Amino acid sequence: MKIDQNRVGTDNAPVDTGRRALLKAGGGLVIGFTWLVGSKAMAFAKPVPQPGDAAMARADGSPAFAPNAFIRIGSDGSIRLVMPEVEMGQGAYTGQATLLAEELGVDLDQITLEHAPPSDELYALEIQGSQATGGSNTIRGCWDLLRQAGAVARTMLIGAAAKRWGVPAEQCRVERAVIHHDASHRTLSFGQVAADASRQPVPDKPALLSAKGFRLIGKSLRRIDTPPKTDGSLIFGIDVRIPGMKVAAVAMSPVVGGKVAHVDDRKARAIKGVVDVVILDDAVAVTAGDYWTAQKAVAALQIRWDSGTGAQISSDALFAELAEASRTGTARTGKQVGAGTKEGGKTVEAIYESPMLAHATMEPQNTVVWVKPGSCEIWVGTQVPTRVVAAAAALTGLPAEKISVHNQYIGGGFGRRLEVDSVEQAVAIAKRVNYPIKLVWSREQDVAHDYFRPPYHDHLVATLDSKGYPVTWRHRVTSDTVLGRYSPADMPKDGLDPDTIDGAAEPPYSLAALKVEWVRHDLPKAVKIGWWRGVGATHNLFPVESFIDELAHAAGQDPLAYRRALLGHNPRARAVLDLAAVKFGWDKPLVKVDGLRVGRGVALGTSMGTLICAIIEVGVTAQGDVRLRRAVAAADCGQIVNPNTVEAQLQGGMIFGLSDALWGEATLKGGVIEQGNFHNYRILRMHETPSIEAYMVPSTESPTGIGEPPTAISMPALANAVFAATGVRVRKLPIARADLAIGASARDQVVI
């Protein structure tokens, strides 16, 4: 398989600006797709021409056969597949290509992959609402869509061959892009019938392969981007170079929300290689022939900042305000079931706090922009290409069709590249110069100027019956709303952001009386908040699964057995829990280690439609250091397209979540983010990472999300393991080493 990155590799390489332009309407043979409202599966709309499809095909050089937005087949037999969802390390391109190739009748080594150009009309998944990659939606959103796209093309290609031979189409089959008529031993390649296929009628309901007929789906296939990543040939956004390009480095206010008050740039301009200094409202940029010269010049700038009210913001104050809002604010009910019983049992109550989190992607923010008279061209790795077009159009005043976006491979997204702030900044700089620029943020700027996951305050109360099981359960979440900031028009009329209660409103357990509510408390506008890997469940599963553990402890029961007793109505969840328990060996005694307090913790939940369980074993030193010894993850994510990808996501997601449970925290002091790089915004290192075993429950249900659930479930599993080892209940993340040291006072006694 080849990967067409539509890239430029050297300063002297030509720039292809045509095929990725945003396109207007036109005519031609196309196929339309639409989502069934409220359905989890994709279905055909009317098979009538869609102008956007035809225009896209014309701009693509009018290939011999372009039956829909995703497939291009040339007369030479070349097969190109256009991926609607972007690749950012999660195996998205391999998965999407597998779905198309399975139904098309080709193998992965026969095709070339391409990034999709911006088009909500052609590439928006209804589950997202726009052309966006996020929410672990790639496979579950494309499951029927791309299989149907491949089936349409296969049906039309077979139809063309059958017509040429004068035989029924039912007598023909496809294997490796070759159509066979076994009875007459005749064959035709896709390329030989491509032009004829374009004149075939578009099937209304193409027959999809049954699971028994899958050649690729369900197999452990090597990821298509592994070879170019291994040899260094894969181009990420930060690698893009175009002729005449200069590199821009920027200075931004250390205080959140700060503006430029005065700039003395004489020393910066005196540095050899500096081309321009561009002063924006909230940043100062220096352009040069290379990044290091530009960054050196930025350091030489003398800037006086107007910090505004940002200097008054601190993390301590934000949490105090959240706590006060929880007590006195107006709560919106998100889910209420039952009214409880009159039985008077033990009441358990707890407060949990979750911090602001940065994304800290491996690839810091960067964008290449070329603003020319009458057009704007952008090279960037983005999760939201059409949002990039809209932002650039607003800044340049150009119509959308004059903005072209070349999407690139992304070195980690996690929700950060759902934002377009670096694009906006790059466009603002490029408007002021007469050459293309590549904007690159330093790691410190990337962390300090993130769109953070907001902090949360959770208050949970449960009443237990005589056996220790909950007869009432109340959970009050207090936080800001990312949806209200990112897309206020999509906020429900009742004002309830559904993300804030995701993972809390639908626990897998049988709870007779449940009430989940949300108190909205807006943070200062200077504190930018955004989506973070795991979305709502990444916050809610920590308090929910920690609190279930507290109830098991209060009832004097084994935490895994306690959960199992609450799952009688939920056999799929019990199957996931049991699989994890068996693979971990929950019933086997823990091996004691000299100098360590050893414990294991379990957590179970639902995220992105996936049922997931994690069991973690830790050892805690006398000084409070947490050492990860072993981790097991089990998941039911429906039909598995590629077991290798699922295993990698379970392992990578757990590393992400464990890192943040141990160290993840973006703190504000005097309006300044105190973290700046991986030395003080830590992630697990190789010698700290435990063995992570990944297991999957076989299923024929439609696929669900897998990229984010392991991040969310690993945090409470770790916190529960720490409690089992030390007796200290973790109610605030990240885990405080000082609280776990022998002799320290435990957090178990919390005053509500």
- Strands 514-520 and 470-479, sheet pairing: parallel
pLDDT at 205: 86
Q: Residue 18 — very low, low, confident or very high, per pLDDT cuts 50/70/90?
A: very low
Structure tokens at 471: 């007869």
What are the start-end ranges of the E strands in 670-737? 672-673, 691-696
In a domain, 340, yes or no: no
In a domain, 461, yes or no: yes
Is pLDDT at 21 greater than 50 in this prediction? Answer: no
pLDDT at 575: 98
Of all residues in the chain, the percent with pLDDT exceeding 70 is 92
The whole-number average pLDDT for the span 17-33 is 29
In a domain, 626, yes or no: yes
Alpha-carbon distances of 95 from 68, 462, 608, 720, rounded to whole Å: 19, 42, 17, 34
Pairwise CA distance, residues 216 & 457, whole Å: 45
Of all residues in the chain, the percent with pLDDT exceeding 90 is 87
Among residues 660, 625, 658, the alpha carbon closest in space to that of 740 is found at: 625
Q: What is the CATH number of the domain that holds 213?
A: 3.30.365.10
pLDDT at 126: 79
- Strands 259-264 and 302-306, sheet pairing: antiparallel
Number of other residues whose CB lies within 10 A of the CB of residue 489:
5
241 with 159, same domain?
no
Alpha-carbon distances of 451 from 118, 679, 723, rounded to whole Å: 23, 20, 32
Is pLDDT at 112 greater than 90 in this prediction? Answer: yes
- Burial (CB < 10 A; 0-12, 13-18, 19+), residue 126, is middle
Pairwise CA distance, residues 407 & 343, whole Å: 60
672 contacts: CB under 8 Å, gap ≥ 6 = 254, 255, 256, 448
389 with 501, same domain?
no
Pairwise CA distance, residues 252 & 284, whole Å: 7
Is pLDDT at 31 greater than 70 in this prediction? Answer: no
Is pLDDT at 53 greater than 90 in this prediction? Answer: no
Q: Residue 163 — very low, low, confident or very high, per pLDDT cuts 50/70/90?
A: very high
Element (H, E) at 242: none
508 with 616, same domain?
yes
pLDDT at 36: 26
pLDDT in tens, 569-610: 999 999 999 999 999 999 999 998 999 999 999 999 999 999
Is pLDDT at 320 greater than 80 in this prediction? Answer: yes
246 with 189, same domain?
no
Pairwise CA distance, residues 631 & 692, whole Å: 5
Is pLDDT at 11 greater than 70 in this prediction? Answer: no
Q: Which of 23-32, 346-355, 567-576, 640-649 has the lowest mean pLDDT?
A: 23-32
Give the three-class secondary structure for 661: helix
pLDDT in tens, 614-643: 999 999 999 999 999 999 999 999 999 999
Structure tokens at 602: 């379990």
Pairwise CA distance, residues 571 & 417, whole Å: 37
pLDDT at 204: 83
173 with 256, same domain?
no
Domain count, the chain: 3
Is pLDDT at 396 greater than 50 in this prediction? Answer: yes
φ/ψ (deg, to 5) at 366: -160, 155
Where among 389, 413, 440 does a domain terminate?
A: 440
Element (H, E) at 53: helix 51-59
Cβ pair 57, 153 in contact under 8 A: no
384 with 475, same domain?
no
Number of other residues whose CB lies within 10 A of the CB of residue 738:
9
Alpha-carbon distances of 447 from 303, 388, 672, rounded to whole Å: 21, 21, 11
Number of other residues whose CB lies within 10 A of the CB of residue 623:
10
Where among 440, 472, 504 does a domain terminate?
A: 440
pLDDT at 553: 98
DSSP string, 577-603: HHHHHHHHTTTSPPPP-TT-EEEEEEE
432 with 467, same domain?
no
State the amino acid at position 113 in one-letter form. L
Is pLDDT at 131 greater than 60 in this prediction? Answer: yes
Is pLDDT at 41 greater than 60 in this prediction? Answer: no
Cβ pair 402, 376 in contact under 8 A: yes
297 with 399, same domain?
yes
Is pLDDT at 725 greater than 90 in this prediction? Answer: yes
Structure tokens at 685: 């290192």
Q: In angstroms, what is the C-alpha Rg of the chain?
A: 27
Q: The sheet that has 347-354: what strands, in order across it?
A: 331-337, 514-520, 470-479, 456-464, 347-354
Cβ pair 613, 604 in contact under 8 A: yes
Where among 440, 465, 481 does a domain terminate?
A: 440
- Burial (CB < 10 A; 0-12, 13-18, 19+), residue 613, is buried
Provide the residue range defining the domain that includes 201: 2-231
Q: Residue 127 — very low, low, confident or very high, per pLDDT cuts 50/70/90?
A: confident
251 with 223, same domain?
no
pLDDT at 342: 59
In a domain, 745, yes or no: no
Q: Comparing 430 with 3, which gets the higher pLDDT?
A: 430
The whole-number average pLDDT for the span 319-340 is 95
pLDDT at 343: 61
Whether residue 734 has a cis bond before it, omega within 30° of 0: yes
Mean pLDDT over the full length of the chain: 91
DSSP 361: -
In a domain, 360, yes or no: no
Among residues 491, 513, 718, 531, the alpha carbon closest in space to that of 626 is found at: 718
pLDDT at 746: 47
Alpha-carbon distances of 283 from 295, 388, 445, rounded to whole Å: 14, 20, 11
Cβ pair 613, 577 in contact under 8 A: yes
φ/ψ (deg, to 5) at 600: -135, 150
Is pLDDT at 175 greater than 60 in this prediction? Answer: yes
DSSP 452: B
Element (H, E) at 637: none
Alpha-carbon distances of 545 from 182, 183, 488, 537, 571, rounded to whole Å: 58, 61, 30, 11, 19
223 with 79, same domain?
yes
Structure tokens at 660: 């943040």
In a domain, 671, yes or no: yes
In a domain, 316, yes or no: no
Beta bridge partners of residue 188, listed in sequence order: 179
pLDDT at 19: 30
Structure tokens at 203: 């099937």
Pairwise CA distance, residues 498 & 513, whole Å: 20
520 with 634, same domain?
yes
In a domain, 294, yes or no: yes
Q: Residue 5 — very low, low, confident or very high, per pLDDT cuts 50/70/90?
A: low
At residue 613's C-alpha, the angle toward residues 607 and 614, to 5°, is 115
Q: What is the pTM of this model?
A: 0.92
Structure tokens at 699: 């299923």
225 with 261, same domain?
no
Structure tokens at 261: 């008050």
The whole-number average pLDDT for the span 731-751 is 78
pLDDT at 54: 76
Pairwise CA distance, residues 422 & 450, whole Å: 10
Give the number of C-alpha atoms closer than 13 A to the C-alpha of residue 737, restricted to the C-beta side: 9
